[in-house]
Amino acid sequence: MIKLRLDDSICELEPSGNIKIEEAINSAISTIPPTRVITRVNVNGARYQWTEKNSILQESTKSSHDIEILTADKAIWSATGYDIALSSIERVQRSIIRSAELFRELDNLNGNRLLVQCIEGLERFIEAITITKRAVGLDFSKINVDGITLSQIESNLQQILNSVFNLQEKEDYQELADTIEYELLTNLVTWTQALKQLRTQQNSNT
């Protein structure tokens, strides 16, 4: 049994056959009008990431599951998505620099507190750029910035964040400061450059 919420609509489904949760999600997504863009998919309260492997998505729909699909107006995100993403990343950059400074000053408590806020801001940025990507119909593998595709920049960001989490867990704060300053901040600067470039191209086409 599946309890499916699509924006404000709720229904209960009893799928025929032994289909997987991922198949049920894709089936529900196929009914969304082309004027809407998906902003979030939650499975049993946890966010569903297309880029990550998740064992629960391979589970049968014979057991009970809650699926929530949220959408927004595609035209609005197409028009404002770059600005939203840029605003998110610019706010994070200022705090990222300060968190690295705090770790170098051995003020690890406040450094960690600020870093948590930075990670939350980065999650908002990633969400914004993902929605914009869908709304505009961008193919990151075909967009280059200084010889690097946006797909690679996106992958690098995730790898850097994984390193940040590992160093934070190990309490290796000096190495963490280096990673933030020389890897994470560099990646965000590249994102800023790419988004401004895309926004300029969009404005010139309107």
DSSP characters for 133-166?
Answer: HHHHT--GGG-EETTEEHHHHHHHHHHHHHHHHH
Interacting residues of 140 by C-beta distance below 8 A, sequence separation 6+: 133, 149, 150, 151, 153, 154
Burial 97-114 (b: 16+ CB within 10 A, else e): eebbebbbeeeeeebbeb
What is the three-class DSSP state of 72? strand
* Residue type present at position 119: I
Could you tell me the pLDDT band of residue 15, with boundaries at 50, 70 and 90? Answer: low
Q: Cα(167)–Cα(119) distance, rounded to whole angstroms?
A: 14
pLDDT value, residue 44 = 85
The string of pLDDT tens digits covering residues 156-174 is 999 999 999 999 999 999 9
Angle between helices 74-104 and 108-136 (to 10 degrees): 160
The CATH number of 2-73 is which of 2.60.40, 3.10.20, 1.10.30, 3.90.320?
A: 3.10.20
Higher-confidence residue of 17 and 28: namely 28
Domain spans, the chain: 2-73, 75-204
Is the pTM of the predicted complex or chain greater than 0.95?
Answer: no
Q: Cα(36)–Cα(70) distance, rounded to whole angstroms?
A: 10
Could you tell me the pLDDT band of residue 47, with boundaries at 50, 70 and 90? Answer: confident
Token pair for 95: 């705090």
Say if residue 98's pLDDT is above 90.
Answer: yes
